[in-house]
Structure 1
Amino acid sequence: MAKSRSAFFCQECGYESPRWMGRCPGCGAWNTMVEEPVTRPDGPGPLAPDLGGGGEPVAIGDVAADDAERMETGMDELDRVLGGGIVPGSFVLVGGDPGIGKSTLLLQLAACVARRYGTVLYVSGEESARQIRLRADRIGTLEPRLLVLAETNLEAITRHAAQAAPRLLIVDSIQTVFRPDLPSAPGSVSQVRECAAHLLRVAKGQNIAVFVVGHVTKEGSLAGPRVLEHIVDTVLYFEGERHASFRVLRAVKNRFGSTNEIGIFEMRDSGLVPVGNASQLFLAERPLEVAGSVVLPAMEGTRPLLVEVQALVSASTFVTPRRTAEGIDLSRLQLIIAVLEKRVGLLLGNHDAYVKVAGGVRLAEPAIDLALAVALASSFRDQPPDPQTAVVGEVGLAGEVRAVSRIEPRIREAEKMGFTRMVLPKANLRSLSVKTALELIGVETVMEGLEAALRR
């Protein structure tokens, strides 16, 4: 017989406490502890499937080491992020802001898998079957082997999954699903944790790939207990501005591939379209002969990507100048401004500085430093850089330009896109082995980098 009690759970991270506390010890959030009933079943419960295998320990050398056969979806950008396709039996969590296109992406994924491999079960707790049909008509994903189900009861979902035996199960979303034997409301910490744990057993026990949608908080992190991200195999974030046409799919956890890969999609009336040549797309509207615009050869995973870094420096009317950054960390902007003031002599202390990475891409690698410095100096001096020059390099606090990783793919991408010059760290130039028609200019300091990039 199940034993019932109550406990207090943090609605941000899922921390459990026998008593109420004003501040969560797990994540430090205030006033997030909510009392919820907890039911501890004596046995595995009626929902626990048979995982098979006997549960006997096996010598690691006797375990079959064959690579898992992946299901290629036909959506190249999604396959890239997943590490080459969907692994049968994997459990994938997809998060993103409301209206960003998560349901559209998964409906297109469901149609592709149904067309290539067999039955797919798409379960929605937020839309009716008619609403899903209307979206499928709009984006052209009507497939006879794509089954849709409007259901939130986990017992019913499990029963239908066992009957249909799909190759792929999609649940949209995990916050709407509930176990009827738990007294707490759908979306609560205990419901999300237990439902996710059961879907994990379904994925591993029946060798079904399971994709679930997770809501995000206003801070941009996945809602629900932190254990939700721990138990899944892969965590994908779907990012982008709601009013922009580009979307970025990023893996932050992946047990079957790299976590540095991104996939780029364009939102159209017919759905999400993978973008193959992202560099051409991001530079298509780049203004020429404009101060403050610099092209950076960035790396996202194994993919080189040319993006435009824009800066606008203007005299400030405030006591404290404004510093605004979109697409990069604000602290990186402040660091580069300090280096330009101290090492180059640019008096930016009474100027506002606004920086943006065009196209909605977020960059975190240090290789952006030199391009950011050139963009700021170009706008401050009102001196346009050479439009055929790409700039890359990490900047230290002493004003030195440090080497960056994977310089050869960056050079090849810039040459492919028609650039004629590249300013890069001299340390990279010494160890370079690739042959290129680009004029490579090695620099050791920020001052040298500005002179090379702004030279006409």
Structure 2
Amino acid sequence: MAKRKTKFTCSACGYESPKWMGKCPGCGAWNTLTEELEPVKSSRKMTFTASLHDGLSKPIQLQNVETVQEPRLKTDNGEFNRVLGGGIVRGSLVLIGGDPGIGKSTLLLQVSSQLSSKNHGVLYISGEESVKQTKIRADRLRVDSSSLYVLAETDLELITKAIEQTNPSFVIIDSIQTIYHPDIQSAPGSVSQVRECTSELMRIGKSKGIAIFIVGHVTKEGAIAGPRLLEHMVDTVLYFEGERHHSYRILRAVKNRFGSTNEMGIFEMKEEGLEEVHNPSEIFLEERSKGAAGSTVVASMEGTRPVLVEIQALVSPTSFGNPRRMATGLDVNRVSLLMAVLEKRIGLLLQNQDAYLKVAGGVKLDEPAIDLAVAVSIASSFRDQPSSATDVLIGEVGLTGEVRRVSRIEQRVQEAAKLGFKRAIIPEKNIGNWTVPKDIQIIGVEHIRQALQITLGG
């Protein structure tokens, strides 16, 4: 019997090499090349293209393609529907990643129950639990439906047969790293296995109109394990985030072919499972310390929804040669930029100060409209002078200290007024051509110096 050839595949980007190397030439990562057996050439003819494109193998004009607008299938979970762009699209392939124990399986089991209760066939395939273990978890979550089928299997061929037998509308794979293709001689979870199994599942979903949800493990850096190609193959990539020691969870879309990638869903983990949070702004502000220096509130847009969050700053003299700059939920480079603007344009001596910033509630903010709130928080902590607890700050700060206009200002101000804020400091260019709520005062500023005079008195 001839000796099987081996190859080395990068677990980060899928680069293949005949010999081991410490650094991957494809992506530059270190110690990611793993040894795998060369796949056995199969005599089976691949029919992926034909089935994916409904048997059309010749070019056709786009205007002559006939389509039928299918409504999205909505679950009873409004936050889940929001992140997906309004509901589940038939034939879509959705990848959900997150840390171990964060609640991925709980969320999908609850969604399965909601879909099956509407007489949609659901096949839940677990590669990590037995059928009895899944039943125990379902009983805890009060999940019970005659249209929900459970299968404990890791062989892709047997999974394919089960899908053909049950003909479900939805399939959930938990998780893709445990599934293996028998024709590929490598361990489950390897680059080749993950790539080929996902490709086969995509073929099944697209050809039969089945929505497939795939659970993916994450690495210690927080990225989904396996080749980067995995995220390119699927239609939607969702990340389930949150601290294991806190009850709130955030579902965020980083890729969505059928909706916005800026949407965010908030959930609370309880004994009976995950419950959606309808008004996250109240949650993020309920423990706010009023009258504390370095605390401001900003109205940030998460997709189509405004969310009010607290930004906290702590500025103190450094005991090191180089001052420290640390940020949680913010880009540390943006913080350094704003501190340079405050020092150059306002005259705050921050070059010998340590700065620690945090977004309360575990939310990550990356839009320019938070600049003004971050800058005022830093100045408030440096001067040890608190700003008003009923002020909300919105605006982008330029390198010359000017405050630039932001988008969707009306929605941001309305959310602030609904939560009882009395003043909104916004860019001067955003004033006009929209309806101002009655219970809030609008103050326009053109420079960051004006904002500091209004909020801190100087």
TM-score (norm 2): 0.95
Q: CA deviation at 1:43?
A: 3.1
Tell me the matched-pair count. 453
Q: CA deviation at 1:379?
A: 1.2
Q: CA deviation at 1:142?
A: 2.0
Q: 1:187-211 CA distances to partner (integer Å, 9 max, x unpaired)?
A: 1100000000000011011111100
Matching of residues 262-301 of structure 1 within 5 Å: 262-301=264-303
Query: Residue type matched to 1:16 in 2?
Result: E
Distance in 2, Cα, partners of 1:244 & 1:150 = 31
SS in 1 for 2:28: coil
C-alpha contact (below 8 Å) 2:119/2:147 kept by paired residues: no
Which of 105, 110, 127 in structure 2 is aligned with 1:108?
Answer: 110
Query: Residue type matched to 1:185 in 2?
Result: A
Distance 1:233 1:150, change over 3 A: same
In structure 1, what is the equivalent of residue 155 of structure 2?
Answer: 153
Distance 1:5 1:47, change over 3 A: farther
Query: Residue type matched to 2:436 in 1?
Result: K
Distance in 2, Cα, partners of 1:67 & 1:311 = 49
Query: Residue type matched to 1:448 in 2?
Result: Q
Q: Does 1:69 align with 2:71?
A: yes
SS in 2 for 1:72: coil
C-alpha contact (below 8 Å) 1:49/1:202 kept by paired residues: no
SS in 2 for 1:353: strand
Which of 199, 222, 225 in structure 1 is aligned with 2:227?
Answer: 225
Matching of residues 335-374 of structure 1 within 5 Å: 335-374=337-376
In structure 1, what is the equivalent of residue 37 of structure 2?
Answer: 37
SS in 2 for 1:116: coil
Q: 1:286-317 CA distances to partner (integer Å, 9 max, x unpaired)?
A: 11111111110000111101001111112222
Q: 1:101-147 CA distances to partner (integer Å, 9 max, x unpaired)?
A: 11111111111111113221111111122221222122222222211
Distance in 2, Cα, partners of 1:47 & 1:409 = 46
Q: CA deviation at 1:455?
A: 4.1
In structure 2, what is the equivalent of residue 21 of structure 1?
Answer: 21
Query: Residue type matched to 1:388 in 2?
Result: T
C-alpha contact (below 8 Å) 1:80/1:263 kept by paired residues: yes
Q: 1:68-118 CA distances to partner (integer Å, 9 max, x unpaired)?
A: 321101100010111111111111100111111111111111111111132
Distance in 1, Cα, partners of 2:199 & 2:230 = 8
Q: 1:324-363 CA distances to partner (integer Å, 9 max, x unpaired)?
A: 1111111111111111111111112222211111111000
Matching of residues 182-197 of structure 1 within 5 Å: 182-197=184-199
In structure 1, what is the equivalent of residue 55 of structure 2?
Answer: 54
Q: 1:410-455 CA distances to partner (integer Å, 9 max, x unpaired)?
A: 01111111111011111112x4422322211111111111111224
In structure 2, what is the equivalent of residue 10 of structure 1?
Answer: 10
Unaligned runs of 5+ in 2: none
In structure 2, what is the equivalent of residue 408 of structure 1?
Answer: 410
Distance in 2, Cα, partners of 1:22 & 1:389 = 54
Q: Tell me the percent identity.
A: 57
Bigger shift: residues 40-49 or 240-249:
40-49
Q: CA deviation at 1:51?
A: 5.2
Q: 1:387-415 CA distances to partner (integer Å, 9 max, x unpaired)?
A: 11100111111111111111111011111
C-alpha contact (below 8 Å) 2:50/2:56 kept by paired residues: no
C-alpha contact (below 8 Å) 1:117/1:167 kept by paired residues: no
Distance 1:449 1:69, change over 3 A: same
Query: Residue type matched to 2:227 in 1?
Result: P
In structure 2, what is the equivalent of residue 259 of structure 1?
Answer: 261
Q: CA deviation at 1:234?
A: 0.7
What is the RMSD computed on CA atoms of the aligned residues? 2.0
Distance in 2, Cα, partners of 1:332 & 1:179 = 46
TM-score (norm 1): 0.95
Distance in 2, Cα, partners of 1:259 & 1:51 = 25
